[in-house]
Every structure is written in structure tokens, then in C-alpha cells.
Copies of this chain bind each other. A is one copy, B any other.
């Protein structure tokens, strides 16, 4: 029984790999054709998709799924139209596959190119929002990748229906639908995580725990973020109103997301620290402060050491008064998660040092931490936000789903002729034809 299951999951991943190679070498026009069919089918299948989603919504009503999660689970005509619009944008994008990044004459008659290529087979694990099936699936198809998607069990009917639409679009373009597969059940995910010869990248979108547990368990590279502990540093030379506005926006605009601020650091010489803390408290933000912050307002609660490393994800913020820019940077490096860090100041040299020295995926001067997002960065759809340092960092768009290949064309070139001194390398960069 277990053995059969193993074979079947391995066979599915192998079918994805094989189908991916065909998709990857089918040409940009074939991939655009897939996306055109997808855009059409999302329109034609609207009522079936909404009906499938209704089953999930009905099932969820019987459980204690919180109201915001119910909203995320719902697939409305409006959401489907937004998804179609996203697909239309992808159709118009220049196809990234084969795009040369480097072109170099290695020796007379021997030309080397580094070109963009599909990453391969992706395993995406996500939670309740079924829209992600289309967003991720369409991005992966544009990049020539295969994608195995494991969504939340509360969206099982929606995920099946949406995956079927993706597969139908692939088949309509004459390609193998195995490039898109819906994965169900934890056992299947566990088995897939063992297939490091067939799966190239795992992207877990969801809780901190989910990401960490997958990193612990699999040898396959993982693109994900483990924490979003972002800081706003209000410098001595900050504008009073801007300090208040950016702190409030960073904390309260959408506190549940990873780019929301969890700590505000205020320079001891900033004369309006009390006004920043008061503005937070007046918006019902719980402020947990160090001794200096406690003295600013009686509503501030004493922070303990754990507060500096906590991702609250709600209307709570920790606050600390620091003596200098160096102290602020040291606090950020000691407690931050290298996600997004912002400084508010009117002093350019201080801002430049902050931008230069803070080691994080995104570093902002006089802007809210909430801007750290693929759509806001102009990357089109977002695969996720990576807080690791390899492959992709920060908000990740289609570039994160690509790799490169080196192609060389010679005339019978042999290394022995160069080792023996008969021929010499030229190493001359050539213009890249766009």
C-alpha cells in the first residue's frame, strides 16, 4: 500500500518533469497561447468555479473558520475578473525564456551565451486563498515551469476546479497538462519533499511554522520567509508629522502581514517621541516600551526581552529609545529578520548610512515598511517574499521562477589546443541582441 503510493507520487513528479521540459522548449508563443486559453476559460467557467467554491464556503460555515479567512476563501466574480486581468498582463509580457544575459567570445569562433531558462518543477504549498492557484499557476506557465500545488483542505473543491482550468488551458495549446497538478493530503506532500531529484524548489506560502517545518524536513531548496520583524527608526532629525504618519502606516495599515512594523526605535534627541507614542496609543495600538518609553505615557506597558523578537501581527508594537544611529542598526541586526527596515529623517548623510549599512532585503528612507511587496515594486504578480539571501531576496516575481543555462557554439574547439598554447582565449564581451 505505502509502496504503491510512493510509486504513484514519484510517477506524478516524473510526469511533471517530463511535461515541463516540453513546455520549456515549446517557445514563447506556445506559452502565450496557454495563457490566452486560460484567460478565456476563466471567463467561460465562471459559474462552475463559483459553484465549486460555494461547496467550500458551505463546508466552512460548519466550522469555526474566522471571518477574515472566510473572506479569503471566497471566490467571487470580481476576484475572477482580477485574476483574468493578471493573466492578460502576463500574456503581454515579453517571454523570459532564452533571453541572453551574457554574450561573450571565448576564443576566435567560439561564442558563449548565458540565457534565462525555466527553473523546472516547483512545489507550492499555500493556505486558504484559492486565487493563489491561478496567480502562481499562470506565473509558473509564463516561466516554463511545472507546478505542483498543495492548497489548504478548506479550499479543496475550489483548488480542484481551478487546477482543472489550468490543465485544460495547457492541453488546449497542445501541451501536456501534467505541468500543473493539484496535490491533496499531507502524506503526498511528505513524499514530494523527499524527491530532490525531481523537484527543484519548494515555495511554502503561509505561517512561520509551515516554512520552518519544511526547511527542517526537506533537502530541496526552499524559497520562503521565516519572519517579518520590521522596524521603523525615527532619527533625531525626523520631521514630526512624517515620523507619526510612517509609524502609524507601517504598524496599522494591515498589521497581519509580514511587512508591517513590529518595533519603533526612536532617537533620544528626537523631540517628539511622546507624540509618536501617543498617536499609536490613540489608534488603540498596545505599546510595549523600554524604560525611557514608559516615562512618555502612562498607557505604555513594560516590554520584556522577548518583545524585541516578536512578530505580533496585530495592533501591538514594541518601542525603544536609542542613543544613536549605530545603536538603532545594532538593535535591528540583533533582533530583526532582515525583511524590511525603514528610517525617517531629514538628514541625508544619516539616511545614506542607514541605507548602506542595514543588512535586510528591503531598506527604506522616508517610506512605510508596507511598500515591501511585489505588486508595489512593479514586479507584476508576487510569488512570495524571500528573507533568505540566495537565489532571490525580498518580493519575488517571475525572475524567482527562472534559472540560467550556458550555451556555447564552436567550430570544433578543443581544450587541448589551449592547454598546449596553440590557441589563446580572447574573452571579449559581445553586444546582446534584444
Assess the B410–A362 pair: CB atoms within 8 A.
Answer: no
Q: How many angstroms from the CA of A410 to the CA of B366 in the assembled complex?
A: 5
Least Cβ distance of A248 to chain B in Å? 8
Mostly, the A contact residues are mixed
The reply on A398 being an interface residue by CB < 8 A is: no
Cβ distance A28 to chain B, nearest Cβ, rounded Å: 12
Instruction: Count identical subunits in the complex.
Output: 2
Query: Count the A residues whose beta carbon is within 8 Å of the partner chain — how many?
Result: 74
- Select the stretch in A79-87, A175-183, A353-361 that faces chain B: A353-361
* Interface hits, A300-357 → B, CB 8 Å: 333, 344, 351, 355-357
Name the contact of A378 in the complex, choosing from B106, B196, B378 (C-beta under 8 A): B106
Q: Is the CB of A120 within 8 A of B406?
A: no
Q: In the docked arrangement, what's the CA distance between A312 and B30, Å?
A: 40
Known contacts A21-B357, A364-B410; 7 additional CB pairs below 8 A are A112-B377, A201-B390, A216-B219, A360-B405, A366-B410, A368-B414, A370-B415
* Complexed CA–CA distance, A120 and B412 (Å): 41
- Complex Cα distance A390/B389, Å? 12
Q: Is A149 an interface residue (CB 8 A)?
A: no
**Bound state CA distance, A367 and B418, in angstroms?**
13
Residue in chain B with minimal CB distance to A411: B366
Q: Is A253 an interface residue (CB 8 A)?
A: yes
Taking a contact as CB atoms under 8 Å apart, the answer to whether A24 and B359 are in contact is: yes
Q: Which residues of B contact A10 (CB under 8 A)?
A: none
Mark the stretch among A46-54, A70-78, A239-247, A274-282 that contacts chain B.
A239-247
CA distance A368 to B414 in the complex (A): 5
Instruction: Decide: A359 near B21, CB < 8 A? Known: A414-B245, A414-B249.
Output: yes
- Whether A7 is near chain B, meaning CB under 8 Å from some CB there, is no
Q: Which residues of B contact A376 (CB under 8 A)?
A: 106, 415, 418, 425
In the complex, chain B residues whose CB is within 8 Å of the CB of A366: 409-413
What are the residues of chain B within 8 A of A368 when measuring CB–CB?
A: 413-416
Cα(A356)–Cα(B378), bound, Å: 30
By beta carbon, the residue of chain B nearest A425 is B376
Within 8 A of B (CB), among A127-160: none
A378 touches B253 (CB 8 A): no
- Report Cα–Cα, A418/B370, bound state, in Å: 11
Contacts of A365 in B (CB 8 A): 407-410
